[in-house]
Amino acid sequence: MKQRAASFWGKLVSASLLAVLCMGLADPGLHASTTPSSSTPSRSTPSGSTAAAASSSTSGTAAATGPYAPLDRPGPALTVPVKQLQSSLTCTANVPNARQNPVLLVAGTTMTPDVNFSWNYERAFTQQSIPWCAVTLPNHEMSDIQTAGEYIVYAIRHISALSGRKVDILGYSQGGMAPRWALRFWPDTRKDVDDFVAIDPSNHGTLDADAACTVGCAPAVWQQQTDSHFLQALNSGAETFAGISYTVIYSRADEVVFPNLDAAGSSSLHTGQGAIRNIAVQSICPADVSDHLAMGSIDPVAYALAMDAFTHAGPADPSRISPTVCTSLYMPGVDPSTFLPEYLNYLSTAGTVMATYPHTQSEPPLGAYVYAQPVR
């Protein structure tokens, strides 16, 4: 039943997005695991982990990162005015001195937290008294992701200080990739993050953006092309960092972040010293046909995996997910009586923003801090 409903609404969303793609405007498991390096024990570093050791070096040398900044070089001062950073963050009343890690919600391209999460994850977390914050990134996440990264840096620092705890991150689509920019270029944020759950993230771009940008596209779409300068910098040296557990949840039916057919696809992570699991929802529910937008809003398998990650040491473990989740129609928090207008608003926002946001003819230049040597 769940798969039939997800398929119907997913196809409705897909039809809209594919129509936008045809106009040249679109946005763009199986388990591969690594063992965290030795560090102070935390929920992210379970003893007896069965994950395999990472094969790539996380040395901060120029040789390891090519032309880009060493992995441990301190990040630059934030350029976004403090008042704008402060106003971008909304938190529940139980975040200060929280009794458990608060969750930072980061929405997807074309979205705001309200459109993306208010009717699903925010509601589910509130019902369970899970402390959470949501960061509103500029311009429906269609402008330069480097600037969005500064908002995420501020959010991580502020939430950790306010709660007195590490922060768990739940991001969707671009929101599952953009926090990695903060972690890559502001190393001080790494100590403040425990679990990072990413749903259908564009970690290695999408072929959809490659096609869309042939006639110009929004800055954030340029940056989500598979060969963008932004993604080359983001993935330089190491994709993950010690002390953080990374759970990447993807759908093989994702038509927006594409290809995502297996753990070699766009979303999955492989390098660095973080603890990693890349999990296809179809490895738990083979008949799951959830597409990109369904994954970021209603998919109960994605939710179950996220909660498993947040409530156990290390990344999510599919063996702990009950097969009964495959019979669920929606994730917790979704109200069947209001689902239709909420989902249609979600769909409408994605289509409208994608179709109307101004185009540029090239990718935004990388900031000077991104490079190992000053750019002349």
CB 136 within 8 A of CB 88: yes
pLDDT at 376: 62
Pairing of strands 167-172, 132-135: unpaired
67-90 confidence digits (pLDDT tens): 999 999 999 999 999 999 999 999
20-51 confidence digits (pLDDT tens): 333 333 333 333 333 333 333 344 443 333 33
* Range of lowest pLDDT (40-54, 147-161, 188-202): 40-54
Mean pLDDT (whole number) for 172-192: 98
What is the CATH architecture of 2-46+80-363? 3-Layer(aba) Sandwich (3.40)
Could you give the CA distance from residue 10 to residue 252 in angstroms, rounded to a whole number?
Answer: 13
157-167 confidence digits (pLDDT tens): 999 999 999 99
User: Does the N-terminal peptide bond of residue 259 adopt cis geometry, omega within 30 degrees of 0?
Assistant: yes
DSSP H helix total and E strand total for the chain: 14, 7
Burial class from Cβ neighbours inside 10 Å (0-12, 13-18, 19+) for residue 72 reads middle
Could you give the CA distance from residue 141 to residue 145 in angstroms, rounded to a whole number?
Answer: 7
Mean pLDDT (whole number) for 255-266: 94
Q: What is the pTM of this model?
A: 0.86
Report the candidate in 148, 70, 80 with the shortest Cα–Cα distance to residue 372. 70
List strands edge to edge, sheet with 103-106.
89-91, 132-135, 103-106, 167-172, 193-199, 245-250, 275-280
Q: Quick check: helix, strand or coil at residue 357?
A: coil
Handedness of CA 33, 38, 39, 40 (dihedral sign): positive
Q: Average per-residue pLDDT in the chain?
A: 87
Which amino acid is it at 349? T
In the chain, % of residues over pLDDT 90: 81
Residue 341 confidence (pLDDT) above 60 = yes
pLDDT at 199: 98
Could you give the CA distance from residue 359 to residue 27 in angstroms, rounded to a whole number?
Answer: 12
Could you give the CA distance from residue 334 to residue 106 in angstroms, rounded to a whole number?
Answer: 18
Task: Map out the domains of the chain as residue ranges.
Answer: 2-46+80-363
Burial class from Cβ neighbours inside 10 Å (0-12, 13-18, 19+) for residue 338 reads exposed
What is 71-108 written as a DSSP string?
Answer: TTSPPPPP-S-HHHHHHTEEE-TT-TT-SS--EEEE--
